[in-house]
Amino acid sequence: MTTATDAPAPVGPPSRVAVRQDHRGSWIPTRAMIAARFKELRKRRGLMITLMTVTVGIPAIYLGIRLLLHAVAPHSYGPAGGYDQYVGLVAGVLYIFGFIVAATLGATAGSVDLTEGMFRHHVITGRSRMALYLARIPAGLAIIVSFVAIGFTIVCAVCVFAAPTSLDYNGVHVPVGLSPTDFEHFTADHAEEVVNNFPIEFSPSNRPVSPACLPGGPGPGSGNSGGVIIRQPAGQATKPICTPGQLRALAVQIAKQDYSDYARIFLYPSDSLMIKTGLWIELEAFIGFMVGLGLSSLLGQRTVSVILLIVLELILTPIAARARLPHLSNLQRAVVGIATAHLEPGALPTPFAGGAADRALFLRDSTTVAVCVIVAWIVAWTALGAWRMMTRDV
């Protein structure tokens, strides 16, 4: 009896086993990488306290003290809010110091793995170096944008809800929100104050209704009509005092000239101004973070990067903005601080402690050029920082 040997079982096609692809070489950072970089920055308590103190603490403490002083002695200390306080805190604190703390955070994010000796450990995991660099951008922006937004919200809230209840326009108490017609009626009823205090500018084509009423003489109350006398040169007779009708007509003429300026003065910032200012402040913080990130990655250390950016913001930018260098004007326009200042909302004073008169001293530039300069700075420093990280030895 013969038995057949067991024939080998037929081998079918191999079963398809789903193998998860390895994305470690992708240059796109994953959510886990971004979360790790965010946690890495957040655990630096000294840095977080500094960021919160500058962006949130300084405005909150200043406004809190003003609120307390006004509540204790309202006649000695004015309201805590209002347009003046708003522009001072925005252009004088959040704009300048927001850039500095954002640059400090960016410099820390760009060099923390080198200073702590973790760069080699990150590279040997097989992750793309480009992804490791790009993961720091959303992680750092999530921190600095939030802090700046909180500080700016506190400023807006106090300046709106604690604003003054009367408007002092060139030394004259004027009601708020007057239409052009109502503004003319008000100036006619207070003609003497208006003629003596409101700004006056006449051209040959727009001559004053009554030159005799213009200020320049002994002042108001010099006659029965209460008009204003112009003092004549020695040896000439003094012009007669203008009549009340002439004084009212001149006040109305001045009102038509000054209404646009009056309409731009707010007891508190408007909604549109706050929105534009908030975006402008966040743009400045974004630029500071991106430049600090790229510069620190290029240099490999934080301290020198922060010092260089502080010098850029507080020294070089104001000098470049106000200096008159005909042969270096294009180089001056290439400074990112000048480009950012050009995008400032028009109702704010110029940065770097500049007043309204300083706006004419700033280097003139177009919006297109300013936007191109900002984009060039962000792209250039991001590219340099990423390139250095790609070529750095482990």
Q: Is the pLDDT of residue 357 over 50?
A: no
Q: Is the pLDDT of residue 49 over 80?
A: yes
Tell me what the mean pLDDT of segment 279-299 comes to.
95
How far is the C-alpha of 44 from the C-alpha of 359, rounded, in Å?
40
244: in domain: yes
Q: Is the pLDDT of residue 304 over 90?
A: yes
Q: Is the pLDDT of residue 138 over 90?
A: yes
384 shares a domain with 294:
yes
Tell me what the mean pLDDT of segment 91-116 comes to.
90
Q: What is the pLDDT of residue 262?
A: 75
Q: What is the pLDDT of residue 19?
A: 45
Q: What is the pLDDT of residue 239?
A: 44
Percent of the chain residues past pLDDT 90, beyond the cut: 36
Residue where a domain stops, chosen among 199, 230, 263: 263
Q: Which of 5-14, 244-253, 332-341 has the highest mean predicted lDDT (pLDDT)? A: 332-341
Q: Is the pLDDT of residue 305 over 50?
A: yes
291 shares a domain with 158:
yes
Tell me what the mean pLDDT of segment 182-190 comes to.
86
Residue where a domain stops, chosen among 248, 263, 278: 263
Q: Are strands 167-169 and 172-174 parallel, antiparallel or unpaired?
A: antiparallel
Q: Is the pLDDT of residue 209 over 70?
A: no
Q: What is the pLDDT of residue 230?
A: 36
Q: Please name the amino acid found at residue 377.
A: W
Q: How many domains does the chain have?
A: 2
Residue 235: which pLDDT band, with cuts at 50, 70 and 90?
Answer: very low
157 shares a domain with 39:
yes
394 vs 387, higher pLDDT:
387
Q: Please give the residue range of the domain that contains residue 188.
A: 167-263
Mean pLDDT of the chain: 80
Tell me what the mean pLDDT of segment 276-289 comes to.
95
Q: Please name the amino acid found at residue 87.
A: V
pLDDT digits (tens, 9 = 90+) for 1-40: 455 555 555 555 554 544 455 566 677 888 988 998 999 9
Q: Is the pLDDT of residue 236 over 50?
A: no
How far does CA 237 lie from the centroid of its chain? 55
Q: What is the pLDDT of residue 27?
A: 79
3-state secondary structure 247-305: HHHHHHHHHHHHHHHHHCCCCCCCHHHHHHHHHHHHHHHHHHHHHHHHHHHHHCCCHHH
How far is the C-alpha of 236 from the C-alpha of 230, rounded, in Å?
12
35: in domain: yes
How far does CA 103 lie from the centroid of its chain? 15
Q: What is the pLDDT of residue 347?
A: 64
Residue 278: CB atoms within 10 A of its CB come to: 19
Reduced to 3 states (helix: H, G, I; strand: E, B; else coil), residue 160 is helix
46: in domain: yes
Given CA atoms 194, 200, 205, 210 in this order, what sign does their dihedral have? Answer: positive
Tell me what the mean pLDDT of segment 109-132 comes to.
81
223 shares a domain with 96:
no
Residue 233: which pLDDT band, with cuts at 50, 70 and 90?
Answer: very low
Q: Please name the amino acid found at residue 275.
A: I
Q: Is the pLDDT of residue 54 over 90?
A: yes
**DSSP summary character for residue 212:** G
C-alpha radius of gyration, the chain, whole number = 32
Q: Is the pLDDT of residue 306 over 50?
A: yes
How far is the C-alpha of 87 from the C-alpha of 85, rounded, in Å?
6
Residue 323: which pLDDT band, with cuts at 50, 70 and 90?
Answer: confident
178 shares a domain with 140:
no
Residue where a domain stops, chosen among 263, 280, 303: 263
89 shares a domain with 230:
no
175 shares a domain with 95:
no
4: in domain: no
212 shares a domain with 353:
no
9: in domain: no
276 shares a domain with 384:
yes
pTM for this entry: 0.74
129 shares a domain with 274:
yes
As separate numbers, helices (DSSP H) first and strands (DSSP E) second, the chain gives: 17, 2
376 shares a domain with 363:
yes
286: in domain: yes
Tokens 């003139």 correspond to what residue? 364
* 100 CB-side CA count, 13 A: 19
Q: What is the pLDDT of residue 295?
A: 96
Burial 182-212 (b: 16+ CB within 10 A, else e): ebbebbbebbbbbbbebebeeeeeeebbbeb
144 shares a domain with 131:
yes
Residue 4: CB atoms within 10 A of its CB come to: 5
94: in domain: yes
Q: Is the pLDDT of residue 318 over 60?
A: yes
Identify the bridge partners of residue 203 per DSSP, sorted by sequence position.
206
Q: What is the pLDDT of residue 35?
A: 93
Tell me what the mean pLDDT of segment 75-90 comes to.
86
Q: What is the pLDDT of residue 146?
A: 96
Tokens 């009340």 correspond to what residue? 244
